[in-house]
Chains A and B, each alone.
Chain A
Amino acid sequence: MKTLEELMALRDQAKQKMTVREDTGDDAIRIVVGMATCGIAAGARPVLNALVEEVAKRNLKGVTVAQTGCIGMCQYEPIVEVMQPGKEKVTYVKMTAEKAVQVVNDHIVNGQPIVEYTVGAVAK
């Protein structure tokens, strides 16, 4: 059974971690997932889940994963946008949980956007 005592212990651990956490700074990366009816119906929930889990697993600093409404291209959902200051926004379409993990690894960690998953490549 999960108990509140366990939660208290996790809280205390988290508090210690928080004090050593650095400021996210200006080069923060924002990953947003379209979570309107169209996105959810197309499978955005596992995509968002995968992004959050991969970012947490790799303990990436300065990366926030958030949800947004309808991006306006419902036929290409699930859509993931990567926004980085000073760089052009990258829009990934028809995403899956597996592709989302790849995006975190290749694009966010290694700085190499995956062109074949972008709207430019898919919407030809």
Chain B
Amino acid sequence: MRELSLNVLDIAQNSITAAASLITVEVLEDTRLHTLAINIIDNGKGMSDEQLMSVRDPFFTTRTTRKVGMGIPLFKLAAEQTGGCFSINSALGKGTSVNAVFKTDSVDFTPLGDMKSTVIMLVTMNTDRDFVYRQKVDENEFVFDTREIRQVLGDVPLDEPDIVGWMKEFIEEGINNLYGGADNENT
């Protein structure tokens, strides 16, 4: 994966498959400690202990078209190759949380990339779910919550082109503001 935002898109698909109604993506950056944490938290059906043990294994997958599943292993590798860490917690019937910490000063750190596109794609392709995107850079925080947008929209769908356009600009502005209003250097 060329960008961590693509890993996020991939991992979040698992939450959708797990029938989650609310998926939270957090990107928490600490520029002094040179760390970036990514958390993907869902309220889906969760996994059994046995399943949880096997998801880090590339030769385990729920897909039926192939015998390999690279989503979790690739994300784990992206974190660990920077000297960071990876964990995954799950409880049947409660949900799953995938957590990765990256060392941003490592030469093997993959850039975060275009989170806006990832969030927009998740929201517009799954209008029956809710998403929260929270990004923090030190003390600055940006939160995008489809539940709030839905309250404004009423019965107008989230994938209506004009609404998508507004959300794109809203997220882009929000992320740029985290970096002092400068153009986002991640993209």
Contacts and interface: CB of A to CB of B under 8 A. Distances in A.
Interface in A45-77: 45-46, 48-49, 52, 56, 66-67, 69-72, 74
The 6 closest A-B pairs by CB, nearest first: A72-B65, A56-B161, A2-B170, A37-B71, A14-B160, A14-B156
Interface stretch (B5-13, B33-41, B46-54): B5-13
Given A45-B118, A71-B65, A72-B66, A7 B166 contact: yes
Contact of B10 (A8, A40, A74): A40
A106 B173 CA distance: 35
Contact of B156 (A11, A37, A66): A11
B6 A10 contact: no
Contact of A14 (B63, B117, B162): B162
Q: Identify whether the interface residues of A are mostly helix, strand, loop, or mixed.
A: helix
B163 A11 contact: yes
Interface string A1-45: 110101110110111001000000000000000011110110001
B66 A41 contact: no
Interface of B: 1, 6, 9-10, 13, 17, 63, 65-66, 69-71, 74, 117-118, 121, 124-125, 149, 152-154, 156, 160-164, 166, 169-170, 173
A37 B152 contact: no
16 contacts: A1-B173, A4-B152, A11-B154, A14-B162, A36-B13, A37-B69, A40-B9, A48-B121, A48-B125, A52-B124, A56-B161, A56-B164, A70-B63, A70-B66, A71-B65, A72-B65
